[in-house]
Structure 1
Amino acid sequence: MMTDALRTPDDRFEGLPGWPYTPHYADDLPGYEGLRVHYVDKGPKNAVRTYLCLHGQPTWSYLYRKMIPVFLDSGARVIAPDWLGFGRSDKPVADETYTFHFHRNMMLALIERLDLKDITLVCQDWGGLLGLTLPPDMPNRFERLIVMNTTLATGTSPSEGFNAWKAYSASLPDMDVAALMKRGTPVLSDEEAAAYGAPFPDASYKAGVRRFPDLVMVEPGMDGVETSKRAAAWWAQDWHGDTFMAVGGADPVLGPPVMETLRAQIRRCPEPMVIEDAGHFVQEWGAPIAKAALKAFGEI
């Protein structure tokens, strides 16, 4: 696959607060040859459980820095990839490169390459829009779910808040990611907010950021609708694993009403943990969420 792509210089990622993790890369995934995908890989390779932590837009695996240590302390392995166009992964420059199945097929290939098993899927935002469609294709690899502020897009808009966000995003082709994160998550320090902006030296690196809002399937004929409908049916009928749901109560885009709809779609999904003052990026309250999930799963 020959795709014109940019690679964020390594020095942009030096000294980020709360981020001691050595990068790992896959650059020969089938269908994505030459594109380098970054992922965090910590904990024993033969661990009983693997936590697969999937971020959304405009974040990267840094979003999980408060949850990763809790999972590691349980003896698990943690894999936290960056979608192409985000984080330390390569960034195709053409907006049209980014499609629902471009992202989805990459993650399927990465899971196969790493031969991940006994997976607890940890997902939010696009990490869920895409991630929740993966287990139906490889059900024997997934055993548990931690789901936060996300949705399955099956051809209608999830909320008026999403419509507003999509319009706002479209007006900012060179979105200031650090400023956006600071505004949406005031608990962030300036240094943490800057870490979210680290992958994007300028607008040419932001095609993936620009594209994700437009890819949400708000019309019946859009790419990914059928895949998501199939996934919704699978979660409702065929899912037999344990689920933990956490909701940032102050999220105007994918907050409590959207999550209650999703909860109804997931078989045996219990009452959610609601963090009233948490916004969309609820992983910034990630340590108590991870601990509550492990307790619910009977691990602590």
Structure 2
Amino acid sequence: MIADVKRTPDERFANLPGYAFAPHYVDTLAGYEGLRVHYIDEGAKDAARTFLCLHGQPSWSYLYRKMIPVFAASGARVVAPDWLGFGRSDKPVDDAVYTFNFHRNMMLALIRHLDLTNITLVVQDWGGLLGLTLPVDMPERFSRLMVMNTTLAVGASPGPGFDAWKAFAASQPDMDVAALMKRASPNLSDAEAAAYSAPYPDIYYKAGVRRFPQLVMVKPDMEGADISRRAAAWWRTDWQGKSFMAVGAADPVLGPPVMELLRQQIRGCPEALVIADGGHFVQEWGDIIAPAALKAFGDI
């Protein structure tokens, strides 16, 4: 049992711009009993298709606010969880709690708990570093992939841009999330940037945010590197589903060069939709990307 856990007060999430989704919670996941995990769950529970939208760092499910209504309007179910340590999910205070397998096993448990099937996996940033490894253990549940500004960490640094980001993040234990989001996505309003920081009232709520950059598998023996190598091989040789890729070209870390390498690893992945002025958080252009993905998948 994890002793010291923060839970962001509900009033922090009141009246966030563009975010009127009802919260859903589970605190009985196997291995995570007592830790409350939040997820958005829009559309019919018995829909034929489910979009599973996984955010990264330092964001939360707010990241997908422009995409969720588009996916739901197509007749699909849309589930957008918050990783533990993020959003409306509980936040253990000890940085050491957060490991690759801590996060990955939670998501596997949530998918089983909700019994999600015919999943379109939607990923970005750590949503991809973790999410792209999930189908290896439950391939029968996944049918399509929508991938944006992410990578598989198989034991080497993604490059000097990442090294600089990791060093910066380590120097900011009380990271100003709103300011970071505003710098990365200048198209955000001040209120939207502030919404990204809503889950984190002070430094004690930010252990998960701090920890992710340090967990990226830059050495081959780091936790998660082995499953990521297996996942890379699986996407290259075993993947049978449709894929769609969108890339924010202004991302200095996981931009077009990194994404092209990833595209070549995904069997049958077509050329990416490039958002020229889109940054790392390319979901902020979700009103363009989501309809394009649905059209490519044949949903509209």
TM-score, normalised on structure 2? Answer: 0.99
One-letter amino acid of the counterpart of residue 126, structure 1: W
Structure 1 residue 11 displacement after superposition: 0.4
> 1:186-217 CA deviation, whole Å, 9 max, x = no partner?
10000000000000000010000100000000
SS of the equivalent of 2:78 reads: strand
One-letter amino acid of the counterpart of residue 52, structure 1: L
Name 1:72's counterpart in structure 2: 72
Aligned counterparts of 1:25 and 1:68: Cα–Cα separation in 2: 18
8 A contact 1:159–1:254 mirrored in 2: no
Runs of 4+ deviating beyond 4 Å: none
SS of the equivalent of 1:113 reads: helix
Name 2:133's counterpart in structure 1: 133
Structure 1 residue 152 displacement after superposition: 0.2
Aligned counterparts of 2:128 and 2:90: Cα–Cα separation in 1: 21
Question: What are the equivalent positions in structure 2 for 1:1-300 lying under 5 Å apart?
Answer: 1-300=1-300
One-letter amino acid of the counterpart of residue 159, structure 1: G
Structure 1 residue 160 displacement after superposition: 1.1
SS of the equivalent of 1:284 reads: helix
> 1:10-37 CA deviation, whole Å, 9 max, x = no partner?
0000000001111000101000011000
Report % sequence identity. 74
SS of the equivalent of 2:163 reads: helix
SS of the equivalent of 1:120 reads: strand
One-letter amino acid of the counterpart of residue 79, structure 2: I
Aligned counterparts of 1:42 and 1:52: Cα–Cα separation in 2: 11
One-letter amino acid of the counterpart of residue 129, structure 1: L
> 1:247-289 CA deviation, whole Å, 9 max, x = no partner?
0000001000100110111001100000011000000001111
> 1:122-148 CA deviation, whole Å, 9 max, x = no partner?
000000000000011101100000000
Structure 1 residue 4 displacement after superposition: 2.0
Structure 1 residue 3 displacement after superposition: 4.0
Task: Give ranges in structure 2 of 5+ residues lacking alignment.
Answer: none
8 A contact 2:42–2:72 mirrored in 1: yes
8 A contact 1:85–1:91 mirrored in 2: yes
> 1:220-257 CA deviation, whole Å, 9 max, x = no partner?
11000001001001000100000000000000010001
> 1:35-68 CA deviation, whole Å, 9 max, x = no partner?
0000000100110100000000000000000000
RMSD between superposed Cα atoms in Å: 0.6
Aligned counterparts of 1:188 and 1:240: Cα–Cα separation in 2: 37
Aligned counterparts of 2:125 and 2:220: Cα–Cα separation in 1: 20
8 A contact 1:2–1:33 mirrored in 2: no
One-letter amino acid of the counterpart of residue 150, structure 1: T
Structure 1 residue 159 displacement after superposition: 1.7
Structure 1 residue 103 displacement after superposition: 0.0
Aligned counterparts of 1:124 and 1:179: Cα–Cα separation in 2: 20
Structure 1 residue 299 displacement after superposition: 1.5
8 A contact 2:2–2:92 mirrored in 1: no
One-letter amino acid of the counterpart of residue 43, structure 1: G
8 A contact 1:159–1:258 mirrored in 2: no
> 1:67-102 CA deviation, whole Å, 9 max, x = no partner?
001101101000000000000000000000000000
8 A contact 1:120–1:143 mirrored in 2: yes
8 A contact 1:146–1:293 mirrored in 2: yes
Aligned counterparts of 1:289 and 1:2: Cα–Cα separation in 2: 39
Aligned counterparts of 1:248 and 1:157: Cα–Cα separation in 2: 20
TM-score, normalised on structure 1? Answer: 0.99
8 A contact 2:52–2:78 mirrored in 1: yes
One-letter amino acid of the counterpart of residue 185, structure 1: S
Aligned counterparts of 1:257 and 1:160: Cα–Cα separation in 2: 13
> 1:157-191 CA deviation, whole Å, 9 max, x = no partner?
11211111101111100000001001110100000
SS of the equivalent of 2:39 reads: strand
Structure 1 residue 2 displacement after superposition: 3.3
SS of the equivalent of 2:121 reads: strand
Task: Give ranges in structure 1 of 5+ residues lacking alignment.
Answer: none
One-letter amino acid of the counterpart of residue 2, structure 2: M
